[in-house]
Amino acid sequence: MKARIFAEANRKWWTLAALSFALFMIMLDNTIVNVALPSIQRDLGIGVSELEWVVTGYALSFAVLMLSGGKLADMYGRRRVFLSGLVVFTLSSLACGLAGGAGLLIGARVVQGAGAAFMMPATLSIISATFPPRERGAAIGIWAGVSAMALAIGPLVGGLITEHISWNWIFYVNVPVGALAVAATLLIVPESRDTTHVQRLDVPGLLVSAGGLFALVFALIEGSHYGWSSPTILSLFAAAAIALVAFVLLERHQRLPMMDLSLFRQGTFAGANIVALLVSLAMFGVFFFVSLYMQNILGYSAVEAGATFLPMTVLIILVAPLAGKTSDRFGSRWLMAVGMTLTGLSLLVYAQLETGSSFWNVLPGLLLGGIGMAMAMSPMTAAALGAVPVDKAGVGSGILNTFRQVGGALGIAIMGAILTDRSATALAAGASREEAFMAGFTRSLYVGAGFAFAAAVVAALLVRTHHPSPAREPAQEPAVV
């Protein structure tokens, strides 16, 4: 009997290890591309807006399909959907590496994001189904730490591969890693699903949300090209607004909606999701544009630009698991608020950078950002999933990560639009290209800092402090096959 209990206890941690291994790969692809962008631009002969689409296309399809991925995981089995997404992600990574033009690369990145969308919510719902409440915060802390570490270490890995091999290998490396992840999942991860309710896909909601997000992101990225007052851009903004209203109306009246809006009546769940949106709005653009700043303005090599993020990476590795455990004891509210305040301060530090700045000018922002992101991400995830029933873990995690990915796609688009518009104004006034870039860079970082400080306020106002009791277990665990 003792041996069986010990084996089951070990298996849940091995399950977490297998999921974290695959999670690291899909989150790495959010930022590993950033340092390689100048090389991709030179080799493929593409413009800045196409570079934005290389990054945003992945984040956009990731965001649009996330809720469907969570629903499918609850319906057909979390391990099964996770494996399907893993296979799609691995094969599309191979296609990205083989791409010889912007269209093929962007298309493969969109498919890659779709594979990630089926993987991500399944990881969190498997964790929620595998770990009891008294250990769930620690497990989610490790999950969030791996996620944040992958985002932070992406620039360094991308720089090493780009400089010493070629940019194609930032995608090729996913192929053997994906194969190992498939084997580990088949051997270790148990199957589970939601057997308590009738399930079906919300196709109208999926189509409306996809169309609205695409229209909004396209308008933001291409606004400077077409003109912000052009009929095309104004029509896209109008279409995005109509789609948003239509989506809310559809979800309110659907019998089985894709996004269960009733979950947002719980203030903690609503607050955690708003924070997820805002922190991604602030930070995804930073990874994108700080990488360009280091290479195009400071003259760093790809490896040097990637290595600059190492202090942030180390802090995230150390702080995120501790933040997850601390949230189990004291709640998520003030950890999130303080973390987002530090993140906002880090963006203000970046906004003071100049054409003659050095690594030592960048370092304070990296330290503040590393601690701030680690303090916010684990408690944010624990708060969101702690506010929903275990049998809705797939839907809850899908909503959370949808908000994160929507924030990432919009962050790059919004900060890119601000940078492009401000730079164009500076160029027209006679500034050099470097001065024009810095003018837009500074303005966009101040906007990002505003998003981060807004997230701190939301966390303080909406997220409630929770004190989970270690003695209590859920009355009924989800069915495990």
- Kindly report the length of the chain: 481
Give pLDDT tens digits for 415-462. Answer: 877 887 788 788 888 777 787 888 888 888 888 888 889 988 988 888
Phi–psi pair at 192, nearest 5 degrees: -155, 155
Which residue in 433, 441, 72, 443 sits closest to 291, CA to CA?
441
Is the backbone of residue 474 left (phi > 0), alpha (psi -120 to 50) or beta?
beta
Q: pLDDT category, 195, cuts 50, 70, 90?
A: low
pLDDT at 480: 31
d(CA 332, CA 326): 8
C-beta separation of 398 from 69 below 8 A: yes
Q: What angle do CA 287, 371, 375 make, to 5 degrees?
A: 105
* Three-class secondary structure of residue 481 per DSSP: coil
Query: What is the pLDDT averaged over residues 170-177?
Result: 86
pLDDT at 111: 92
Phi–psi pair at 480, nearest 5 degrees: -115, 125
C-beta separation of 479 from 192 below 8 A: yes
Give pLDDT tens digits for 276-326. Answer: 888 888 877 777 778 778 877 888 887 787 778 778 877 877 887 777 777
Please give the mean pLDDT across all residues of the chain: 77
Structural domains present in the chain: 2-191+258-462 (1.20.1250.20)
| 269-307 burial: b if 16+ Cβ within 10 Å, else e | bbbbbbbbbbbbbbbbbbbbbbbbbbbbbbebebbbbbb
d(CA 162, CA 167): 4
Query: What is the pLDDT averaged over residues 332-344?
Result: 85
C-beta separation of 20 from 321 below 8 A: no
Instruction: For the beta carbon of residue 375, count every other beta carbon within 10 angstroms.
Output: 29
Does the predicted TM-score (pTM) go above 0.85? no
End-to-end Cα distance, the chain? 21
Which residue in 144, 145, 172 sits closest to 157, CA to CA?
172
Task: Look up residue 360 and give its two tokens.
Answer: 């030592």
Query: Is the alpha carbon torsion for 322, 323, 328, 330 positive or negative?
Result: positive
